[in-house]
Amino acid sequence: MKETEVDQNLIRAYLLGAVTEEKRTLVEERLFSDRDYFEKVLMVEAELQDDFAFDAMTPDERKQFLSRRELVARSEKTFALTRALVDRAQPSSSLIERLRNRLNQPFQRHRLVLAFSMIAVIAIAAAGWWLMTRNPTQNEVVRLNRQSPESATADYPLEFGSIRTRSTGRPADNAEFRIPASVQVVQLRMELDSTSFAAYQVQLIREPDESIFTLDNARLEQQAGRSFLVIRVPARVLTSGAYRLAPTGTAADGHRETLRPASFDIVD
């Protein structure tokens, strides 16, 4: 199994509360020290929300998901009550001293640790929800590319046959495409001259620098001895204008390399 898939499976199990204490600690240490890992956790959380909404979970996963959601909801109520009590407190030395004594009790310390842990989970969930609502196209592209290849037979293909992955040699001329109005899903097909990477990430940019979406683990397809990265995109996203498809390859050891982009124009 690829390293990225192992990471995603671990994060998924962590968010469902199905990991050991040791693995939970490892995930949380990396979560708060690695920004890329934090982004990956947000993406996996968005996928969990989609799986729950579209009934794509196993019975065990659905049970775990509902259990975790109920726990977070209870924690939100506990936190709100704690905040209300603190807001009512007056800054007198005697009251502060009584509060300090109460907080020093072991049971109370345990409740505080639990409350702050749940606050961290709620913050991550809120960030994930904000990310999804901020860029709904990102969420739609993820869903499209998670579907089976058989569902892509009706896609409208745009093939970049002259594009190669390594950033050497003369850049290819911009391709120009016209998409029929009846098309629902466009399939961007970027040919690779090497498939030595363990995983590929692709970002679609509307020139000069408007990021439309970033797709992790883009699908690799073999056809007649040629290799293509396949990215399914809602046709409505590709309005008239100039675009750039920017791929990144990740090796088995985690090393990342920026590959040559494919530039193209959509015309009416």
CA-to-CA separations, 164 to 76, 141, 249, in angstroms, rounded: 51, 24, 13
Residue 50's contacts (CB-CB under 8 Å, 6 or more residues apart) are: 56, 139, 142, 143
What is the pLDDT, as a whole number, of residue 29? 84
* Three-point CA angle 153, 156, 158, nearest 5°: 120
Length of the chain: 268
- Band (pLDDT 50/70/90 cuts) for residue 267 is very high
- Band (pLDDT 50/70/90 cuts) for residue 123 is low
pLDDT tens digits, one per residue of 1-51: 555 666 788 888 888 888 888 888 888 888 778 888 888 888 888 888 878
On whether the CB atoms of residues 211 and 205 are closer than 8 A, the answer is yes
Give dist(CA 259, CA 242) in Å, integer.
19
What is the pLDDT, as a whole number, of residue 75? 44
- Whether the per-residue pLDDT at 129 is higher than 60: the answer is no
What is the pLDDT, as a whole number, of residue 78? 46
On whether the CB atoms of residues 210 and 246 are closer than 8 A, the answer is no
Residue 37's contacts (CB-CB under 8 Å, 6 or more residues apart) are: 7, 30, 31
- Whether the per-residue pLDDT at 62 is higher than 70: the answer is yes
pLDDT tens digits, one per residue of 188-244: 988 887 778 889 999 999 998 888 889 988 888 888 888 888 999 999 999 999 999
As a 3-state breakdown, the chain gives helix, strand, coil percent values, each rounded to 5, of: 50, 25, 30
**Average pLDDT value over all residues in the chain:** 76
pLDDT tens digits, one per residue of 68-114: 766 555 544 444 544 454 455 444 445 445 545 554 555 444 555 55
The pair of three-digit structure tokens given for residue 13, joined into one six-digit string: 């199990």
What integer is the mean pLDDT of 122-151?
A: 73
What is the pLDDT, as a whole number, of residue 86? 45
- Band (pLDDT 50/70/90 cuts) for residue 60 is confident
Regarding predicted confidence, which is higher, 252 or 107?
252
What is the pLDDT, as a whole number, of residue 71? 54
On whether the CB atoms of residues 17 and 68 are closer than 8 A, the answer is yes
Q: Is beta strand 175-177 parallel, antiparallel or unpaired with respect to 219-223?
A: unpaired
Q: Specify which of 64-78, 149-163, 246-260 reaches the highest per-range mean pLDDT.
A: 246-260
Domain boundaries, the chain: 3-134, 149-266
What integer is the mean pLDDT of 233-258?
A: 90
For the domain made up of 149-266, the CATH class stated in words is mainly beta
